[in-house]
């Protein structure tokens, strides 16, 4: 049944003609209509305008949005939402002084999650993951990327990707799957990297391609994880299967990975807590979207991505949650937007652009998601009454969401 939302105080991110992505100073503008209406027909946006042109006598179900803001649902382009169990002990260890690196070197971190994941049955993994997905949908996420990377075995990686596929089949939210076999080296390959990379390329990738389980390929390009050369091998292999790179890079150190990703036309480079002038130069004029993960910086107390430096260089920026059990056990995009404003000094306009249209770009969904544009998917957030949309990041601990509609369906 069509839905007509009337008397909207502010309808945000209205784009008469679609944009692919927003860069540099373009991000400062968030187009909006005041006193507006929005018509959703089944799973698509059918029309919008100001109340003086509101359609009458339609058979649509009407929602009165007096005092409320309406905006496109969040586009969370970087998550590890499929995982088994939590790592709250490591959280306490970090409070007591251990670093993320020290915990990983003791067999904690990614390898800890891999051990649990491989010991968890697929159905149980699906159950745990669907609860997380349902929670983020209620918090306004309408499109999401989910990675593998806690299997690190052929069976484990396939299990994760099959769970992602099942989530996609069972929920209205748009889901992109990323293969992250190159997340860490299993203990037995610590001194023999090339053998593990051979397994990724010769065993995991063909099996994943056979079942069509992935859209992108990822690697953790970082000191102590995958070198730039190893990451290039992974991207090269991914390209053989039509999987563009979407790469973890520059989280702790800058080792030249960004230029390599640009060379391989990666769709995004994610983290970027540490950025050099050479990294910025490499990104200029590329198709690669920089993605910042501010709640990861918050949770493990590492630097924030220097957003202003990227925007001043004319680059685009997306923001995402990084939802995972180690560095960001939260899938809350509202908190990501607030943290981007508070800690990275993005304006609310820039942060919302980064979390909608640019997030959609970072998962290849700019044609269908991320803005209020006729023909796009009916994915929207209706807030509670607010003074203005500035209240969304300002009241950072308050749930200001009244309703979420994903693919035309009201999220319960």
Cα–Cα distance between 60 and 47 in angstroms, integer?
13
Closest approach of Cβ 220 to ligand NIG, in Å? 5
Look at the block and give the residue holding tokens 């992109």. 176
Q: Please say which residue, 10 or 322, places its beta carbon nearer to Fe ion.
A: 322
Q: Helices (DSSP H) in 139-256: which residue ranges? A: 154-170, 193-199, 205-210, 228-240
Which listed range, 43-51, 59-67, 323-331, 357-365, lies at the site for ligand NIG (CB under 6 A)? 323-331
Closest approach of Cβ 55 to ligand NIG, in Å? 45
60 exposure class (CB count in 10 Å sphere: 0-12, 13-18, 19+): middle
Q: Please give the residue ranges that form the binding site for Fe ion (CB under 5 A).
A: 322
Q: Please say which residue, 63 or 117, places its beta carbon nearer to ligand NIG.
A: 117
User: CB under 5 to 8 A by kind: which of Fe ion, ligand NIG, none does 220 bind?
Assistant: ligand NIG
Q: Please say which residue, 208 or 292, places its beta carbon nearer to ligand NIG.
A: 292
Q: Helices (DSSP H) in 171-276: which residue ranges? A: 193-199, 205-210, 228-240, 257-263
Q: Please say which residue, 200 or 378, places its beta carbon nearer to ligand NIG.
A: 200
Q: Verify binding: residue 79, ligand NIG, rule CB under 6 A.
A: no
Nearest Cα to Cα of residue 163 among 213, 238, 113, 216: 213
User: CB under 5 to 8 A by kind: which of ligand NIG, Fe ion, none does 356 bind?
Assistant: none
Q: Among residues 156, 245, 290, 325, which is the contact residue for ligand NIG, using CB under 6 A? A: 325
CA 53 to chain centre: 36
Q: Verify binding: residue 279, ligand NIG, rule CB under 6 A.
A: no
Residues numbered 87 to 116 that lie near ligand NIG (CB under 6 A) are 109-110, 113
User: Which residue has the CB atom at the shortest distance from ligand NIG?
Assistant: 326
Q: Among residues 94, 248, 376, 403, which is the contact residue for ligand NIG, using CB under 6 A? A: 248
Both tokens assigned to 307: 């957003």
Q: Verify binding: residue 324, ligand NIG, rule CB under 6 A.
A: yes
Cα–Cα distance between 307 and 343 in angstroms, integer?
10
Cα–Cα distance between 390 and 369 in angstroms, integer?
22
Nearest Cα to Cα of residue 149 among 122, 199, 187, 111: 111
| Residues within the interface to ligand NIG (CB under 6 A) | 109-110, 113, 220, 248, 251, 296, 322, 324-327
């Amino acid at each position: 049944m069509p839905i007509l939302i009337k008397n909207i105080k502010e309808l945000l991110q209205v784009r008469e003609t679609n944009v692919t992505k927003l860069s540099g100073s373009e991000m400062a503008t968030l187009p909006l209509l005041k006193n507006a209406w929005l018509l959703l027909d089944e799973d698509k946006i059918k029309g919008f305008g100001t109340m003086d042109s509101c359609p009458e006598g339609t058979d649509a179900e009407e929602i009165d949005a007096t005092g409320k803001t309406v905006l496109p649902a969040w586009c969370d382009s970087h998550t590890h939402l499929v995982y088994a169990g939590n790592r709250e002990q490591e959280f306490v260890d970090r409070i007591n002084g251990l670093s993320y690196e020290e915990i990983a070197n003791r067999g904690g971190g990614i390898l800890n999650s891999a051990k649990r994941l491989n010991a968890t049955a697929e159905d149980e993994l699906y159950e745990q993951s669907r609860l997380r997905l349902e929670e983020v949908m209620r918090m306004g996420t309408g499109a999401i990327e989910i990675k593998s990377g806690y299997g690190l075995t052929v069976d484990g990686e396939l299990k994760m990707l099959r769970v992602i596929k099942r989530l996609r089949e069972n929920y209205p939210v748009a889901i992109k799957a990323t293969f992250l076999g190159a997340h860490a080296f299993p203990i037995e390959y610590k001194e023999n990297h090339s053998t593990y990379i051979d397994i990724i390329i010769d065993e995991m990738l063909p099996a994943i391609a056979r079942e069509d389980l992935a859209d992108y390929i990822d690697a953790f390009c970082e000191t102590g994880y995958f070198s730039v050369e190893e990451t290039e091998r992974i991207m090269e292999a991914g390209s053989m299967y039509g999987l563009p790179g979407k790469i973890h890079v520059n989280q702790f150190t800058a080792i030249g990975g960004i230029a390599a990703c640009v060379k391989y036309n990666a769709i995004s480079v994610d983290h970027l807590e540490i950025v050099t002038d050479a990294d910025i130069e490499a990104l200029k004029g590329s198709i690669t979207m920089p993605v910042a993960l501010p709640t990861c910086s918050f949770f493990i107390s590492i630097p924030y991505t220097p957003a202003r430096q990227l925007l001043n260089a004319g680059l685009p920026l997306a923001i995402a949650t990084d939802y995972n059990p180690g560095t960001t056990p939260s899938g809350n995009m509202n908190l990501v937007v607030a943290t981007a404003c508070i800690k990275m000094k993005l304006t609310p306009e820039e942060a919302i652009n980064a979390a909608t249209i640019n997030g959609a770009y970072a998962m290849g969904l700019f044609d269908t998601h991320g803005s209020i544009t006729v023909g796009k998917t009916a994915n929207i957030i209706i807030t509670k009454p607010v003074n203005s949309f500035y209240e969304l990041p300002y009241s950072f601990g308050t749930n200001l969401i009244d309703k979420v509609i994903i693919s035309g369906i009201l999220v319960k």
